[in-house]
Structure 1
């Protein structure tokens, strides 16, 4: 063991440090490497969007949900008829809930806006605040088809048309334009 050395002593080993290896790559080489990686990614994305319809929402067949609601017999079920081209069903569910049952069918309108058709036997005093939020307020009548529909404000920028019948409430709600809301309400009525 060596004896302790004073703190102001300089080391006697004067061997030079090994030279730092300098990279042989230039910024141009890095740009080419990134380009080689980005080209396949862009091609895959274009194929996904262009040929596989990657931006399009998946559509569903609403028939099983309508059939399930009809066979449950909780309320009269109306299926929309006579809708123009471009309407796409994106979601359809029937579910028994506390105090009744609810059929929900979500659509994309021909203009690409969202719209939901809700049919339920849940009492309106419980259903409307749930579907339209507490801020939902009646805005007057809208005469469509055989029934008298009520206009309501709804969540956010959405509007709703509500048809109150004995044993059933029908709600057409969404951010769709008024003509599309009316078209759906007339198709259900």
Structure 2
């Protein structure tokens, strides 16, 4: 004859196990729904890029352009200004209205060093595009990303990301 504890254990059915799992999973699902629905759990954390732009402007390493008139839905999610060995780099990451990522890079690092670092060694020019007051070069970049590059004597401007062409052009035009 089995001990009483073993007999009680053998009387538990798969239905009892399913009920026990539901008792655990329902509160977890409710908490997740509350987090995503009411607390904006899927929304990226936004930052104010103004301090990074001001830091770059006050350093005076290169002319700095802030994007103007981007419109609703554009969110800055990262902004940094750093000095490098051979220049300075301002990076501002954006989430577009369609939820894609774009990065704006402005720098006085020589283009022969900056472009491979930002676009990878596989980045190749794909032709010219006239936007705003300048002629931008279209480049391939990492994975499924594309880039627009504006080469000027005192700085290089790169707009790179996996956003659609219209959003890529909108950011490039806003910064030009």
Query: Which residue in the other structure is 2:83 paired with?
Result: 96
- RMSD value over aligned CA atoms? 1.1
Counterpart in the other structure of 1:168: 155
Partner of 2:116: 129
- Residue 161 of structure 2 corresponds to residue 157 of structure 1: no
Other-structure match for 1:19: 2
In 2: Cα distance, 1:36 partner to 1:121 partner: 59
- C-alpha deviation, 1:38, in angstroms: 1.1
* d(CA) in 1 for partners of 2:91, 2:122: 21
How far 1:148 sits from its partner (Å)?
A: 1.1
1:49, CA displacement in angstroms? 0.4
SS at match of 1:125: helix
The alpha-carbon deviation at position 26 of structure 1 amounts to 2.6
* TM superposition shift of 1:166: 1.4
SS in 2 for 1:76: coil
The gaps in structure 2 that reach 5 residues or longer are none
- 1:52 and 2:39 are equivalent in the alignment: yes
SS at match of 1:81: coil
Equivalent position SS for 2:65: coil
Matched, 1:87 2:79: no
Q: Write the mapping of 1:138-153 to structure 2, written as runs, cut at 5 A.
A: 138-153=125-140
Instruction: Pick the structure with more helix per residue.
Output: 2
Gap runs ≥5 in structure 1: 1-17
Larger Rg: 1
Q: Quick one: distance in 1 between partners of 2:142 and 2:48?
A: 27
Cα displacement (A) at 1:19: 2.9
* 1:184 counterpart = 2:167: no
Alignment of 1:58-77 (within 5 A): 58-77=45-64
Give the TM-score, by structure 1 length. 0.88
CA deviation string 1:58-87 (max 9, x = no partner): 111101111111111111100000112111
